[in-house]
Structure 1
């Protein structure tokens, strides 16, 4: 009787499924999916928590710093990356520069919030094949922070920078094809553009103060420019060691 009851009970008892108890590693997650997830994580947790989960998560955190081939330091201007996180961010950037080949980077874009000069020098030594450099106009005359780094970049093709850099490091501009300058373009600076920028095709003088002869000097050596943009620039003449503004140029190309 007992056996019969047991048989009836087993007949109507729900069948339990056998589930796998195999543990899966975080590293098994599809990397593209992982990277997309991590890009949505706030910076604080990304730099202090997520990076500790596994090697693949650390790698994804590093790849989330910038797009492939681009070091975009404008992220330092973002309110999402608070000031106290900037040094932590640079530590991760430094680690990424150390583990990837030097020719992995083609572009460097600086933001208004600047790093220290030795940090830019560190970046420069590991980006010797840099092709594009963008320095914001907000730096004005305060460009000493980039001098130690700039001398390493000799393969540049597209540059936005203060005028003084072309006077200090004219050899670094020999391969530049697209140039955006801001600052004071006097006769000496114009001569540097004329004589050193051998492959120049596009020249944009943004927020520049031009000497009266600057444009004629530049065009004397670059008669076949594809683009010359002097909007938002001024012409001046030097009189008694003071700059006297005499002409405002608007939309001359």
Structure 2
């Protein structure tokens, strides 16, 4: 039987009042099965529920209904066991940015209960691989967006989790930093670990992922191996066809746009 790194069943998230008229349903009943060792992409238009889904799966946001297991451990009834097996880099994560990069990693490692000498060795290795050694003693508050993404990734990897969750890890990252992050993630999945990440960049998902789920309006509208979802098209073309886009000429109005007012 296939071992699933992540199994989500019937995930629902409503915000606001519980009454049908005023509640907003961000996630409307999502089922996901992610085989261990996958490089799994979660894609969808803005507002599709990607971040909310990842937040529920990683235990940052309690679902209104449904359940999630990480390698067989329920995220809400057995949170310590589930979270010990995962690393996460949420979108817009807040860091202790008055620490240096090296101090942040050592603090993170100690929170995970790792011995000080193991933390120090792993921190130095991660800083080196992610091209942060030169900035290791600088305060994180002074890091660029790409550097913050990389030190956040290092923090998520420090305890060597079996499953890694990343929300838009390449957004706002320069090409050099993006290439570094990509190489680290590819090496990580080759070891048999699992990556689940959300992205708006279809070309990147197509290049990196072996499986993908497309979300729209809080539901999974397609899921499976990337080749199967593509169906002979690019993933970008398949995504547009599945989600549905207005045909050219249906933008309506804007007849004034581009005309001179003088």
Structure possessing the higher radius of gyration over alpha carbons = 1
Higher strand share: 2
Higher relative contact order (CA 8 A, sep 6+): 2
